[in-house]
């Protein structure tokens, strides 16, 4: 990431976050973190609806930008005009919809480039391309699931039939510069008909991998020039039945193998900034595979912050004030829950086929027993904070406003 510990002129301590008012995971956590450090935090969004983040006490002002897809040059011009007018010391793009355009147009930022928290070009090109991240892992001797890149349904089906269903199919990139509003998700497919339907619906190249039984884990890090200054690890407890972002997770001790693999990847990319590397871990066999790199703030950021790992504030301190010393350690175990996502997971978990070993289900007794973490003081909720309670209550109102359109999308995919 690019950043400067000092610059000539301008007001110090005024920062801009590029995010979403409805992003209660990373965006709200970043605004809270920077605001608690006494910084004046502004937010730039593409939609002016009042999502939960708007209720945050640490958010000073919201600015609206045009949709990037409607006119890239206009979007960039408006953003740079905003940065100059408000004289922001630092700009933190939190979502892919802000990161990708800035990375692609970084040469046009001119004298303002040093105010943006961006990855170096190699780290960006690799971390935002799942094919290249897989190649990097192989080059570094890090285990990956057996598989490769396939350009047609027939070849992908032959691979799956040879190695057995289910298979995991990944898009090369979750977002592209031409389509920042529609995410392409990783999927678990169970038969050749599913593969044929996917390629027919969206012809493209896909990574197809053999299914690996294991727990979803993430190693989050703050790095400077390829050196990890601080690392944190979480383990997924509740996640979509076929895989995806978790709604309930816990902090765990750093796994030696995962940390060593992460150091190799970060060093190879000469990485500066924050990121999260995903793995699947089979504890009984002490075996793991590399999944992907998220070259940005991640969805489980509120959990890390609840354990004492304040990544946004540390990133600011490192990039703009030259800090490099961050004391190791964080609280374990500590559990983090996204209330609304977890409610949806609970319904799906109750209805799921518990006999299917590929579905990431939990017995009802285990789910009920998890309530003890609340009473033991080792569970936090993503939007709740004693010093900033309004986003928690606002989230439910925002959810109810979005519910009708969500139901329509559910019944008409």
Q: What is the structure's pLDDT at 409?
A: 47
Q: Do 174 and 280 belong together in one domain?
A: no
Q: Do 48 and 166 belong together in one domain?
A: no
Q: What is the structure's pLDDT at 354?
A: 67
> What is the mean predicted confidence (pLDDT) over 299-326?
96
Q: Do 198 and 237 belong together in one domain?
A: no
Q: Is the pLDDT of residue 411 over 80?
A: no
How far apart CA 226 and CA 280 sit, in angstroms, is 23
164 burial (CB, 10 Å; 0-12 / 13-18 / 19+) is: exposed
Which of 73-87, 91-105, 336-350 shows the lowest mean pLDDT across its residues?
A: 336-350
**Domain presence at residue 400:** no
| CATH number of the domain enclosing 87 | 3.40.50.20
Q: Do 237 and 350 belong together in one domain?
A: yes
**Domain presence at residue 395:** no
Task: Tell me the CA end-to-end span of the chain in Å, nearest whole number.
Answer: 38
Q: What is the structure's pLDDT at 223?
A: 98
Q: Choose one of 176, 192, 210: the last residue of a domain.
A: 210
Q: Do 192 and 223 belong together in one domain?
A: no
Average pLDDT in the chain: 89
Instruction: Domain of residue 205: give its range.
Output: 146-210
Residue ranges with strand state E in 144-226:
147-150, 167-171, 187-189, 206-210, 215-224
Q: Do 73 and 91 belong together in one domain?
A: yes
Q: Do 252 and 175 belong together in one domain?
A: no
**Domain presence at residue 204:** yes
Q: Do 327 and 296 belong together in one domain?
A: yes
Residue with the bigger pLDDT between 88 and 398: it is 88
**Domain presence at residue 387:** no
**Domain presence at residue 227:** yes
| Angle ∠(63,64,65) on CA atoms, nearest 5 | 125
Q: Do 228 and 347 belong together in one domain?
A: yes
| CATH number of the domain enclosing 204 | 3.30.1490.20
**Domain presence at residue 140:** no
Q: Do 225 and 372 belong together in one domain?
A: yes
Residue ranges with strand state E in 361-401:
379-381
Q: Do 183 and 271 belong together in one domain?
A: no
**Domain presence at residue 412:** no
**Domain presence at residue 7:** no
Q: Do 173 and 301 belong together in one domain?
A: no
Q: Is the pLDDT of residue 412 over 80?
A: no
Q: How far is CA 277 from the centre of its chain?
A: 10
Q: What is the structure's pLDDT at 128?
A: 94
Q: Is the pLDDT of residue 401 over 90?
A: no
Specify the number of domains making up the chain: 3
Instruction: Report residue 52's pLDDT band, with 50, 70 and 90 as the boundaries.
Output: confident
């Amino acid at each position: 990431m690019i950043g400067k510990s000092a610059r000539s002129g301008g007001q110090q301590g005024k920062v801009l976050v590029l995010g979403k008012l409805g992003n209660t995971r990373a965006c709200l956590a970043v605004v809270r973190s920077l605001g608690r450090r006494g910084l004046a935090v502004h937010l730039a969004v593409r939609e002016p609806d009042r999502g939960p983040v708007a209720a945050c006490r640490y958010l000073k002002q919201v600015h609206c930008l045009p949709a990037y897809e409607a006119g890239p040059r206009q979007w960039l011009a408006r953003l740079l005009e905003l940065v100059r007018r408000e004289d922001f010391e630092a700009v933190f793009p939190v979502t892919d919809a802000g990161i990708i355009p800035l990375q692609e147009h970084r040469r046009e930022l001119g004298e303002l480039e040093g105010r943006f928290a961006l990855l170096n070009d190699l780290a960006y090109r690799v971390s935002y391309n799942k094919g290249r991240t897989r190649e990097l892992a192989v080059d570094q001797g890090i285990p990956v699931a057996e598989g490769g890149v396939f350009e047609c349904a027939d070849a992908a089906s032959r691979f799956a039939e040879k190695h057995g269903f289910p298979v995991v199919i990944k898009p090369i990139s979750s977002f592209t510069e031409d389509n920042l509003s529609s995410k392409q998700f990783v999927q678990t497919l169970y038969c050749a008909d599913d593969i044929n339907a996917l390629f027919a619906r969206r012809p493209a190249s896909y990574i197809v991998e053999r299914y690996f039984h294991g727990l979803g884990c993430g190693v989050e890090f703050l790095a400077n020039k390829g050196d990890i200054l601080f690392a944190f690890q979480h383990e997924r407890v509740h996640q979509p039945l076929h895989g995806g972002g978790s709604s309930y997770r816990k902090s765990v001790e750093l796994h030696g193998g995962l940390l060593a693999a992460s150091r190799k990847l970060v060093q190879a990319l000469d990485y500066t900034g924050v990121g999260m590397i995903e793995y699947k871990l089979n504890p009984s066999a002490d075996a793991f595979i590399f999944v992907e790199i998220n070259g940005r703030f991640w969805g489980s950021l509120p959990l890390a912050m609840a354990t004492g790992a304040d990544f946004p504030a540390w990133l600011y301190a490192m990039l703009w004030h030259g800090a490099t010393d961050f004391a190791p350690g964080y609280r374990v175990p500590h559990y983090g829950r996204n209330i609304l996502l977890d409610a949806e997971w609970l319904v799906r978990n109750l209805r799921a086929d518990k006999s299917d070993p590929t579905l990431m289900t939990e017995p009802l007794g285990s789910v009920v027993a998890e309530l003890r973490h609340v009473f033991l003081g080792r569970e936090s909720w993503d939007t709740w904070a004693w010093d900033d309670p309004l986003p928690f209550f606002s989230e439910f109102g925002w959810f109810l406003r979005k519910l009708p359109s969500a139901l329509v999308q559910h019944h008409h995919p």
